[in-house]
Every structure is written in structure tokens, then in C-alpha cells.
């Protein structure tokens, strides 16, 4: 039985300071599944006190002790992986196979890659007559989103553990159960009291209390750019470190000599994956203007084969989006695309054919889009792709960089050399060439309004470390 009306603080399941709950709705059925407790500043204060006390001892544990702890967490996670996937599917709508393989699998992947980083990492180095020491930054507040819940939890918690930090996690109120199961995993693994704490809650209450708290040394935030700006402003008064992974509107540049069937179909499918709810989705496909009609046909074929439906039904490609607010926002942006003159190639407003309830969005393709259109500027966060034309490579790069975001970029070309030449010109933290996926040990994070931190691998762990120079040793 998951403790949805309790928080995990100081190694125990505890009642909120004041009992207040919010409903959790199944996006596939629009039905209320259960209520979850949401906290307040008093709960954050209690969690911070536990974390600060635990930091005194956990910060001086040895590498070997933290390796052993991560190994236990990994084994406990494996035992609960299907439970985590089922919760993710219920709460944010991911089809079961995708929830098990990609959603729950991502969390396990980060735990395992961080374990390897910890085994190999050098915490001290000699620089001239000084020794440079890397030490845990302290107590970390973690605010995570609903779209890849365990991916984001694990890629914060694992490196914080590896670094020797203690932490307070505030997961999304839309996907609380998978996070509560993760807390059970941490408890089963024997994580020392106070090292990991979980307080469910809303951004304006718990998120604000964490951002402003003088007992928290760092905030690691993943979410919208708007919310990230608010977190940074509130954190400024205590001069805490703020690491952010924010929104995106990532370009996908397909060059003249690329394999268009492969590049276009792969790019469209990647946007539709997770119902379009990925911050690094390649939502702006930039193609040679002369190839626009060919691209339209390929993209339409992918959309027509993409089945939006029951996450538990066999043959479903994508499930619903997470809630009514998101569905309404996506519908408004689809309408805006039509109104502003983009060519609607597939999909469009309303529910998919044969669907009469649930927050389902028709897999939608817009072509003949210009970069000043709303659908080319704003993050839609749904299964909607915009296709833009460019007269040549130089214009394609200019369009790619004409955005306030800079989380990811994608390039397809006939050779790796050509793709790399263009990829190096894209102002983004991650660039993928010719359909190669992200490398989990390489850094993940953004430029510009997509954030300022890095996660994954040793770069993610270093975000949780302070650097001290000791001269004269």
C-alpha cells in the first residue's frame, strides 16, 4: 500500500503538519483515482532539519560506502520497476510497454551510470602547490516534473548520493505515486535517515518554501522556463546554487543529401513519442524548401500510423497528455497554427477518431511553417510537429538558432562530417547526429532559456560538488 497521505522524512513515513489533499486524475479516463497529501513550509522545515543533521555524517562517508549504497538502491529499484511503470502509466498516460522500457528504465539507467561514475571519479587533484578537493555542496532541494518522472528523479538523486549530499525531493503533484514508490525503494535499500526526504506538494507552497529556504544549499529544478525563472529569483536571496533544465523548441535540420525517408519518419516519430511531452523533442523540422512536398508525404504517413489510445491496450502508440490544462493549451496552439496559415498535413484539433473521453491529442503535422508563427516559437508539449523550409544550409542554421531556447538540436546528412559541421553551429547543449540517441554518460542540459545546469554522468555529479583549493600541502 503506497502512503499517499504521508511524507517520507528522516527515514520514516510521517503525517503532514496540516492534512490537505489534492486529487490525482487518470488522464486516459478523466476519472479521479485517489487523493495525495500536499505539504507546506512546516513540512519543508522538518525535512530540511533532517537533511542538515544527516549531512554531518553522510558528507564524510567514503567512496566505498556510497558505492555499496548505490548498489543496494539499484537492486531495490529493480524489484519495484514494474510497480513504478504501472504508476507512471496510470498517472501520466504512458503506454505500458513504454512505461516499463523507457520511463522506469531511464531511472535504472541513471542509477547504474552514476554508480560507474562514482567508481572512477577523482575527488582530488594537484594543481601547482595546491590540492583541489571536490566536496558535497550540502542539502539539495529537488523539484521534478511529471513528463519523465523517474528519469528526472534518478538523474538528480543518484549523483547527489554519489557526491555525499542530502536532499529533499518535491515530485510533481500529477505523478506522485511513482515518486512515493521510489521513496520505498530508498527505504528498502537502507539509505541512512535524513539523507533522502520526500515532501509532496504544489509549487506555490512547497516549491516556494524550498527555493527560499536558508537551510537548502542548492536547488535542482526541471520544469518550464517560467517556473525556473521564479525559482531562481526566490533562491537569489540566499545565494544558493540553482541548476536548471527548462523548456525547449529544438530544431531538427535535415540536409539535402540526407536519407529523407529515414530522417523525416524518425524525426516525426520522436516528436510523437511520450505524446510529445519531452522537453528535448525535435519539434521544429527544418528541411530544404525544394523537398517540402516529399517531406509532407513522409510525415503524414507516420502520423496516420500513430495510434493515440488506451495506454493499457495492445497496439497503442501514444497515450493521452497528462491533464486537462495541457490538453486545452495544445488545442489552442493547434488552432493558432491553422489560423496563422500553416498547412495542416495530419491531425488537427479535437479528440482522435473513435475517442470520446480522455486527454488524447491527434498526432498533428504542420508544414509550410515560418519561424515567426506561434507554433514555431512556443513549446507546445504535445504530439505536434512543425515543418519549416530553408533555401540552403546557412538559412537552416539561422532558423535553427532563431529561438530563445537551446536544449537540443538534431541534424541528418549524408555523411557524419556534414552533420557535425552543422551540429557545431547549433546553439544548444545537446546535438544528435543522424538519429543517434543521447549518450547517458555525456552531459545533458541547455543553453539560453533552456537552463544553466548539466545532468548525467560525471558532469551531473559535479553540479552537486563544491570546489576547494588547499594551498601549501
> Position of cell 495506454?
311
- Residues near 365 by beta carbon (within 8 Å), at least 6 away in sequence: 268, 296, 299, 300, 303, 344, 345, 346, 347, 384, 385, 387
- Residues near 275 by beta carbon (within 8 Å), at least 6 away in sequence: 93, 94, 308, 318, 319, 320, 321, 361, 382, 383
Catalytic residue among 279, 395, 417, 462: 279
Instruction: Report the number of secondary-structure helices (H) and strands (E) in the chain.
Output: 15, 21
CA distance 157 to 162: 9
Estimate the crossing angle of helix 149-163 against helix 176-188, to 10 degrees.
Answer: 30
Catalytic residue among 100, 212, 245, 379: 245
Helix, strand, coil proportions of the chain in percent (round to 5)?
40, 20, 35
Tell me, yes or no, if 245 is annotated catalytic.
yes
- Of 410, 405, 412, 414, the residue nearest 380 (C-alpha): 405
Phi, psi of 357 (to 5 degrees): -155, 160
Tell me, yes or no, if 279 is annotated catalytic.
yes
Q: What does 280-297 look like in DSSP terms, one character per residue?
A: T---EEEEEGGGHHHHHH
What residues are labeled active site?
245, 279
Amino acid at each position: 500500500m503506497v502512503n499517499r497521505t504521508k511524507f517520507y522524512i528522516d527515514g520514516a513515513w510521517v503525517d503532514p503538519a496540516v492534512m490537505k489533499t489534492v486529487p490525482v486524475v487518470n488522464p486516459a479516463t478523466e476519472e479521479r483515482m485517489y487523493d495525495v497529501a500536499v505539504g507546506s513550509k512546516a513540512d519543508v522545515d522538518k525535512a530540511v532539519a533532517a537533511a542538515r543533521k544527516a549531512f554531518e555524517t553522510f558528507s564524510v562517508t567514503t567512496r566505498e560506502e556510497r558505492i555499496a549504497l548505490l548498489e543496494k538502491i539499484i537492486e531495490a529499484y529493480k524489484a519495484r520497476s514494474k510497480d513504478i511503470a504501472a504508476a507512471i502509466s496510470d498517472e501520466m498516460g504512458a503506454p505500458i510497454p513504454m512505461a516499463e522500457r523507457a520511463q522506469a528504465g531511464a531511472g535504472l539507467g541513471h542509477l547504474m551510470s552514476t554508480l560507474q561514475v562514482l567508481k572512477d571519479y577523482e575527488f582530488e587533484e594537484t594543481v601547482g602547490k595546491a590540492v583541489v578537493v571536490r566536496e558535497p555542496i550540502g542539502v539539495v532541494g529537488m523539484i521534478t516534473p511529471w513528463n519523465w518522472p523517474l528519469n528526472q528523479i534518478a538523474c538528480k538523486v543518484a549523483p547527489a548520493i554519489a557526491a555525499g549530499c542530502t536532499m529533499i525531493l518535491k515530485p510533481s503533484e500529477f505523478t506522485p505515486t511513482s515518486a512515493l514508490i521510489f521513496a520505498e525503494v530508498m527505504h528498502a535499500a537502507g539509505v541512512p535517515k535524513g539523507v533522502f526526504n520526500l515532501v509532496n506538494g504544489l509549487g506555490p507552497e512547497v516549491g516556494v518554501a524550498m527555493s527560499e529556504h536558508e537551510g537548502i544549499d542548492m536547488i535542482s529544478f526541471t520544469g518550464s522556463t517560467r517556473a525556473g525563472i521564479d525559482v531562481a529569483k526566490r533562491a537569489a536571496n540566499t545565494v544558493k546554487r540553482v541548476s536548471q533544465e527548462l523548456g525547449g523548441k529544438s530544431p531538427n535540420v535535415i540536409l539535402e543529401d540526407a536519407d529523407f525517408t529515414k530522417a523525416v519518419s524518425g524525426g516525426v516519430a520522436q516528436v510523437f513519442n511520450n505524446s510529445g511531452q519531452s522537453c528535448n523533442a525535435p519539434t521544429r523540422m527544418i528541411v530544404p524548401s525544394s523537398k517540402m512536398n516529399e517531406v509532407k508525404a513522409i510525415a503524414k504517413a507516420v502520423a496516420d500510423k500513430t495510434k493515440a489510445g488506451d495506454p493499457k491496450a495492445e497496439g497503442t502508440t501514444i497515450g493521452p497528455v497528462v491533464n486537462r490544462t495541457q490538453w486545452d493549451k495544445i488545442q489552442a496552439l493547434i488552432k493558432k497554427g491553422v489560423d496563422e496559415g500553416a498547412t495542416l498535413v495530419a491531425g488537427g484539433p479535437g479528440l482522435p477518431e473513435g475517442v470520446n473521453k480522455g486527454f488524447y491529442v491527434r498526432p498533428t503535422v504542420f508544414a509550410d511553417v515560418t519561424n515567426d508563427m506561434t507554433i514555431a516559437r512556443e513549446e507546445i508539449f504535445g504530439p505536434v510537429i512543425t515543418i519549416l523550409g530553408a533555401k540552403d544550409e546557412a538559412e537552416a542554421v539561422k532558423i535553427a538558432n532563431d529561438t530563445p531556447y537551446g536544449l537540443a538540436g538534431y541534424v541528418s546528412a549524408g555523411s557524419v562530417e556534414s552533420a557535425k559541421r552543422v551540429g557545431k553551429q547549433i546553439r544548444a547543449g545537446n546535438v544528435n547526429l543522424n538519429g543517434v540517441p543521447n549518450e547517458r554518460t555525456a552531459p545533458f542540459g541547455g543553453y539560453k532559456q533552456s537552463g544553466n545546469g548539466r545532468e548525467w554522468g560525471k558532469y551531473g555529479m559535479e553540479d552537486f560538488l563544491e570546489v576547494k583549493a588547499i594551498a601549501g600541502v
